[in-house]
């Protein structure tokens, strides 16, 4: 699993179309739960292949338009794509178990 900062819809499209599962994490640098989730996700780094799963990190303070595009009303807000197709408009909050389930579902792993 690899991590990439994104600042545009074009960047999101590029990455989501080249990975089996794309996790788009909408957050802000001042958000405590966002920092905690980032640490937890990075702790899962070796659980998934770089070719299969990518975590895109978007700072909503710098990207309000993207936040609006994905209906972000609270952060952290996590959106999932499977093979480039939007699956879920979001897990709101730092719910690692739900995030792992969505990743595993996208990979066809139980």
User: Pick the catalytic residue: 6, 23, 26, 34?
Assistant: 34
Q: In what order do the strands lie in the sheet with 77-82?
A: 2-5, 53-59, 21-27, 77-82, 85-92
Active-site residue flag, 31: yes
Question: Residue 20 corresponds to which tokens in the numbers above?
Answer: 């089996």
Q: Which of 104, 106, 107, 99 is nearest to 38 (CA)?
A: 99
CA atoms within 13 A on the CB side of 9: 7
User: Pick the catalytic residue: 1, 26, 31, 41?
Assistant: 31
Active-site residue flag, 58: no
Phi, psi of 23 (to 5 degrees): -110, 115
Give the catalytic positions in this structure: 31, 34
């Amino acid at each position: 699993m690899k991590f990439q900062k994104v600042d545009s819809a074009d960047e999101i499209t590029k990455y989501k179309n080249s990975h089996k599962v794309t996790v788009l994490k909408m957050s802000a640098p001042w958000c405590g739960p966002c920092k905690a989730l980032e640490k937890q996700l990075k702790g899962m780094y070796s659980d998934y292949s770089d070719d299969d799963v990518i975590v895109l990190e978007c700072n909503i303070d710098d990207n309000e338009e993207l936040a609006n595009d994905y209906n972000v009303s609270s952060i952290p807000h996590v959106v999932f794509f499977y093979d480039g197709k939007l699956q879920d408009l979001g897990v709101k909050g730092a719910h690692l178990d739900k995030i792992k389930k969505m990743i595993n579902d996208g990979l066809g792993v139980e």
